[in-house]
Amino acid sequence: MNTKIRPSGFVSILVTMLLSAAMVIPLAVPAAADDKEQATQLVEKAKFTLENMMNDDKMDPFRDLLKKAKGVFIAPQLLKGAFIVGASGGSGVFLTRDEKTGEWIGPAFYTIGGASFGLQIGGEASEVILLAMTDRGVTSMLSSSFKLGADVGIAAGPVGMGVSAATANLSADILSFSRSKGLYGGISLDGAVVAIRRDWNEAYYGKEVTPEDIFVRRDVTNRQAMGLIEAVEKAVCC
């Protein structure tokens, strides 16, 4: 038996559908706007974190090694218990150097966290910078996710006044530097998982993008990132 929908019934259904769509669309817009705002704030915080490290008297090895790095990952605030109880985590940005021109490209947004590592010096938060010293270190950042210490080699960078960059484990793909409440080198990142933040990348660049779009094809840019890029360029040239 066929059931016919009367005109009044059809109008009622159509109105219901339109009202449902009207309720969904406004919710999506603020979410995207919030992602863009948080991504923008992270870029600004990353700039300050880099400047803090550069101005720290105990970061001479960091300053020397940054000049040789092929890429730099900056996490302004790695929090204890940020993901699950007993774990640590946070968000960061990655920039890489064009081997031909020396120009710095990016940023791309990532999360970093894992249950198998934590703050070793009792702090609740750390500023963390990872230096990608090899092509493998840079290539790892192009994958959707990877584990530090398993998929790519990582070692703690040397810290301290009078310490030379020559003491660094230069065989490692990535060198880590961290500060927590005035203390240094207090976080173990072995076993940490780094993963792409697709939502923030999309919000920041206005369309869905991959790390290859940002670093290889260079299809997108954001003028707001110029402050961070200039800070990196200044750090490696002086």
Q: Using an 8 Å Cβ cutoff, are 78 and 187 in contact?
A: yes
Q: Which residue in 180, 63, 204 sits closest to 125, CA to CA?
A: 180
Q: Where are the domains of the chain?
A: 48-237
- Token readout for 102 is 């020396």
pLDDT digits (tens, 9 = 90+) for 204-215: 999 999 999 999
Q: Which residue in 229, 233, 199, 219 sits closest to 91, CA to CA?
A: 199
- Token readout for 228 is 């961070």
Q: Using an 8 Å Cβ cutoff, are 75 and 53 in contact?
A: no
Is 28's pLDDT higher than 60?
Answer: no
Rg from Cα positions in the chain: 22
Confidence band, pLDDT 50/70/90 cuts, at residue 70: very high
Q: Sign (positive/negative) of CA torsion 61, 64, 66, 68?
A: negative
pLDDT digits (tens, 9 = 90+) for 181-206: 655 655 678 888 999 999 999 999 99
pLDDT value at residue 60: 86
The pTM of the full predicted model, rounded to 2 decimals, is 0.80
Is 125's pLDDT higher than 90?
Answer: no
How far is Cα 228 from Cα 93, in angstroms, rounded to an integer?
10
